[in-house]
Structure 1
Amino acid sequence: MIKRLRGIRFQLMRSELYIIYFSLLVIALISFFTYSVLQPNWLSLEAIFFLLAMFVIVMTPVGLYVIFNKTKSIKERINTYSIFVSMLQQGKYSAKLYLEDADDELDTFGEELNDLAKKMKDQVSTLQRLADEKSEFANKAHIAATMEERQRLARDLHDAVSQQLFALTMMSQATVKLIDKNPEKAREQIKEISEMALQAQNEMRALLLHLRPVFLSGEPLNEGIIRLVEELKKKSGMQFHLDIDEGIDLSQSKEEHIFRMVQEALSNILRHANAQHVTLKLKDRDQEIYIHIDDDGVGFKANEKIDQKTSYGLKTMKERCEEIGGTFRIKSQEGQGTYIDIRIPK
């Protein structure tokens, strides 16, 4: 309520009251001056106070009513501009602001907003065209990228799975020696071995997930994502809730970017989230493609520095999204899972 009273409309109403009461002060000064200096017979103190009281009683509600109605259209136009800016923030660059031909400052501001939206739409189209051209070069560099990916997987195997298997070997050998001497401690170490084996298994599944082809190999985007999820269902205990539209008409470059973003998100969930349920939505809306991925895993503090590998994956997803003119948002807290929203204009 207090915030509304600070709005432009109420500021103009307060200005109107200032004008009314300043006018009242001027009338009072003139009346008292006339009464005390000129002393006409027709003017009395009672008449002056009656005049001032009637001025306050009549002009205050009349002035407020007039300014309230006059500012109604201004408020509606400002609200329209605010909604239009919100649509631009959501990536709806094809939206257009219809002006009222008032030929005032607000109309000029509206024309500038329309020009800005047109420029943003042109820039998104340029980004998407560049992404298509980039896709052609990417096909030519596929062999080199495959070699680089093999080297990366080899490093990940050495840094993650290989070290975990080595640690499992050492701990299991130590546990065998403790079984007779200290059964309780041996039982605790067996639990740690089980947790480490599960983590190593998840790391291996995530690496195998990245062994899928970079491209969709001619299959539609929705079928490629469903096949990816079906593979994860067989290899993990996670439950997936899918809501994927069919027949989404996109360029090859956009489909490849979306597929790799979904692949990277599922890999992060498998490797780090320890989740039981995953929701994945891919919706074809009027002006945009909407992608939502969330899990009920351990989450993390999004405003703090996170694990280097995870942050690299999220950074890659954000860069892929921006390459095709989209917006990328992530929300996560410890113990509350992770939510990813991606919006890509058509």
Structure 2
Amino acid sequence: MWKQLNSIRYMYIRSHLYGLVLNTFILLSILLSIYVWFQPEWLSAGAILLFTFLYLGVGFFMALYAGFRSSGDLKQRLDYISTMITQLSRGKLSSRIYFHESDEIAAVGDELNVLGEKLEQQKESLMKLADEKSELARSAHKAATIEERQRLARDLHDAVSQQLFALTMMAQAAMKIFDRDPDKAREQLEEITQMALQAQTEMRALLLHLRPVHLSGEPLTEGIASLIEELKQKCMIDFDLQVDEVEQLPTTVEEQLFRVVQEAFSNILRHANASEVKVEITHDGEEIFLHIADNGIGFDTEEKKTNKASYGLKTMRERCEEIGGTYSLRSRKGEGTHIDLCIPINVGEKEAEG
């Protein structure tokens, strides 16, 4: 009720009524002044009252009529503007509004048209950027897939394929000398056994790269524990896993740390010749610490920088830096290898999905 009385139309009617009341008081004051000063015979008190009431009655209906008529066009034009704004808010950016008048309301309509054109242009630009981003993401994924396949193919050729070829040649040679020199054949069979074990270790290390990148909904600690249990069944390495419970880690951090652990295990299987591996995950409320150590043969870190086998170490460093962490590697020949990661994170803040 009160909302309707505050509308444009009723505001116009009220303004006309205010004018009517003001004019009535002015006219009444003039007539009373004439009556008091000149006292004409034609102007009496009854005539003044009659004229005043007639003026108020006729003026009231005229104010209503004039208020409705004068506010009708303005209300219609404001309704057009309101409809235009509603359509823009709903995404119909091609809507336009035009007035024949040249007043302030027409200027507002023109500004809304300009705003609609700019929003439409921005929408087209955003759609184009979204398409380009999607295409770049597909290209990046495709390039990463091709790179990983090339790497696996290269590793298979450089390690497993050559070892299998050597096994074939040594097995054929052992068969040829078996009858005339059994001892020599036995030595070659022992070498064949060692090479077969090495090829098997290489293959297991490469298979780690074919595991899913995601944890499939598992927490990081459970994913690492499952990976270790799988490796225990396939290789003679004693794993020592010590983890602190860290709840609600961001998904990106969990996945990158899991991939770092996978890469580290792959390097240990292929190059370290270790019998013990220790994995520690701790946190102090603001940072997560990952420590991976083995008792393998170790290596010279300076020589590794120029060796193609350092690809895995470079990948681990890059994954750590992607999540804002610091990466540290310590190794010496005959003293094993130690890898330390420090990742800043606010424990308890889950990463927003989507």
TM-score category (smaller protein): 0.5 to 0.7
Pair 1:305–1:150, CA change in 2 (3 A):
closer
**Matched residues, percent identical?**
64
What's the CA shift for 1:144?
A: 5.7
> 1:302, 1:247 → 2: CA distance?
32
> 1:209, 1:138 → 2: CA distance?
25
SS at 1:160's partner residue? helix
> 1:188, 1:339 → 2: CA distance?
36
> 1:138, 1:244 → 2: CA distance?
35
SS at 2:259's partner residue? helix
**Residue number in structure 2 paired with 1:211:** 210
> 1:301, 1:147 → 2: CA distance?
31
**Residue number in structure 2 paired with 1:163:** 162
What's the CA shift for 1:309?
A: 4.3
SS at 2:303's partner residue? coil
Matched, 1:193 2:165: no
SS at 2:329's partner residue? strand
> 1:204, 1:179 → 2: CA distance?
29
The count of corresponding residues between Structure 1 and Structure 2 is 211
**Residue number in structure 1 paired with 2:71:** none
**Residue number in structure 2 paired with 1:238:** 237
Unpaired segments ≥5 residues, structure 1 = 1-133
Q: How large is the Cα RMSD of the aligned pairs?
A: 2.3
Matched, 1:270 2:269: yes
SS at 1:240's partner residue? strand
What's the CA shift for 1:261?
A: 0.7
SS at 2:242's partner residue? strand
SS at 1:343's partner residue? strand
CA contact 1:248–1:284 (8 Å) conserved in 2 = no
> 1:146, 1:224 → 2: CA distance?
23
> 1:248, 1:312 → 2: CA distance?
32
SS at 2:340's partner residue? strand
Pair 1:148–1:304, CA change in 2 (3 A):
closer
**Residue number in structure 2 paired with 1:298:** 297
Pair 1:187–1:201, CA change in 2 (3 A):
same
**Residue number in structure 1 paired with 2:283:** 284
Pair 1:211–1:288, CA change in 2 (3 A):
same
Pair 1:241–1:140, CA change in 2 (3 A):
farther
**Residue number in structure 1 paired with 2:352:** none
> 2:337, 2:305 → 1: CA distance?
13
Pair 1:277–1:299, CA change in 2 (3 A):
same
What's the CA shift for 1:168?
A: 0.3
> 1:200, 1:147 → 2: CA distance?
24
Pair 1:319–1:286, CA change in 2 (3 A):
same
What's the CA shift for 1:296?
A: 0.9
What's the CA shift for 1:141?
A: 5.4
**Residue number in structure 1 paired with 2:338:** 339
Mapping of residues 38-49 of structure 1, within 5 Å:
none
SS at 2:288's partner residue? strand
What's the CA shift for 1:330?
A: 1.2
Q: Counterpart of 1:317 in structure 2: which amino acid?
A: M
> 1:274, 1:211 → 2: CA distance?
22
**Residue number in structure 2 paired with 1:327:** 326
Pair 1:301–1:151, CA change in 2 (3 A):
closer
> 1:334, 1:271 → 2: CA distance?
16
> 1:211, 1:277 → 2: CA distance?
24
CA-to-aligned-CA distance 1:13-36 (integer Å, 9 cap, x gap)? xxxxxxxxxxxxxxxxxxxxxxxx
CA contact 1:300–1:306 (8 Å) conserved in 2 = no
Pair 1:263–1:309, CA change in 2 (3 A):
farther
Pair 1:138–1:297, CA change in 2 (3 A):
farther
SS at 1:176's partner residue? helix
SS at 1:303's partner residue? helix
What's the CA shift for 1:153?
A: 2.3
TM-score by length of 2: 0.55
> 2:306, 2:269 → 1: CA distance?
15
Matched, 1:247 2:246: yes
Unpaired segments ≥5 residues, structure 2 = 1-132, 346-354
Mapping of residues 21-32 of structure 1, within 5 Å:
none
> 2:137, 2:250 → 1: CA distance?
15
Pair 1:190–1:150, CA change in 2 (3 A):
same
SS at 2:247's partner residue? coil
> 1:245, 1:138 → 2: CA distance?
35
**Residue number in structure 2 paired with 1:315:** 314
Computing the radius of gyration from Cα coordinates, the structure with the larger value is 2
**Residue number in structure 2 paired with 1:227:** 226
Q: Counterpart of 1:297 in structure 2: which amino acid?
A: G
